[in-house]
C-alpha cells in the first residue's frame, strides 16, 4: 500500500509530501488564502497527475505499436465549480502534442484508450463529475 507523509515546512500552508521512495512534492495554498507560493496547489496537482498518468499510457501504447516518439508535451487547463465547497473540477481540456514519425490514427486511438480505459486519474476525475475533452496534435519530425 502506498504511503505518503506530509510535513509543514514553510509558513502556515507550505507543505512537503514524501512518498516511500523519497520523492518530494512542495505544496501551498494560494496567496489569497494565506499561502506564500511555496509550492503547487493541491487541486492543480490533480491536473498534473492526470497529465502524467495519461502520458505514461499514451507513450506505452505507441511504443508497442513501434511509433517513433521524439518529443511529447501536454497542456492541461481546468475550470472549477464556482461558488460551492468543495469546488471540484468541472471541465478539463487537454492538448496532446506528439512529435515524431507517428501515425495520427494510432495516436488518437492511444489517447482515447488512455482517457477512457486505462488512466485511473481520468476515471477518478470523471467519476467526480469532471468533463474531460482533448485534442491530439502530431508534429512530424524533419
Express each pLDDT in 35-70 by its tens digit: 999 999 999 999 999 999 999 999 999 999 999 999
Beta bridge partners of 68: 101
Adjacency order of strands within the sheet including 68-80: 68-80, 89-101, 131-139
pLDDT on residue 142: 62
- CATH-assigned architecture of domain 42-139: 2-Layer Sandwich (3.30)
Q: How many CB atoms lie within 10 A of CB 69?
A: 16
Separation of alpha carbons 50 and 128, rounded Å: 14
Whole-model pTM?
A: 0.94
The pLDDT confidence band at residue 88, using thresholds 50, 70 and 90, is: very high
> What residue spans in the chain does CATH classification 3.30.300.20 cover?
42-139
Q: Are 94 and 54 in contact (CB under 8 A)?
A: yes
Amino acid at each position: 500500500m502506498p504511503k505518503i507523509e506530509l510535513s509543514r515546512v514553510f509558513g502556515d500552508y507550505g507543505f512537503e509530501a514524501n512518498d516511500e521512495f523519497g520523492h518530494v512534492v512542495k505544496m501551498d495554498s494560494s496567496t489569497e488564502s494565506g499561502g506564500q507560493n511555496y509550492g503547487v496547489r493541491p487541486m492543480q496537482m490533480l491536473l498534473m497527475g492526470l497529465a502524467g498518468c495519461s502520458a505514461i499510457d499514451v507513450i506505452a501504447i505507441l511504443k508497442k505499436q513501434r511509433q517513433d516518439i521524439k518529443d511529447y508535451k501536454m497542456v492541461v487547463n481546468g475550470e472549477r465549480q464556482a461558488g460551492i465547497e468543495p469546488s471540484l473540477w468541472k471541465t478539463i481540456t487537454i492538448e496532446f502534442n506528439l512529435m515524431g514519425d507517428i501515425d495520427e490514427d494510432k495516436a488518437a486511438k492511444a489517447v482515447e484508450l488512455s482517457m477512457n480505459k486505462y488512466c485511473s486519474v481520468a476515471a477518478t476525475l470523471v467519476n467526480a463529475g469532471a468533463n474531460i475533452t482533448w485534442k491530439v496534435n502530431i508534429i512530424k519530425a524533419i
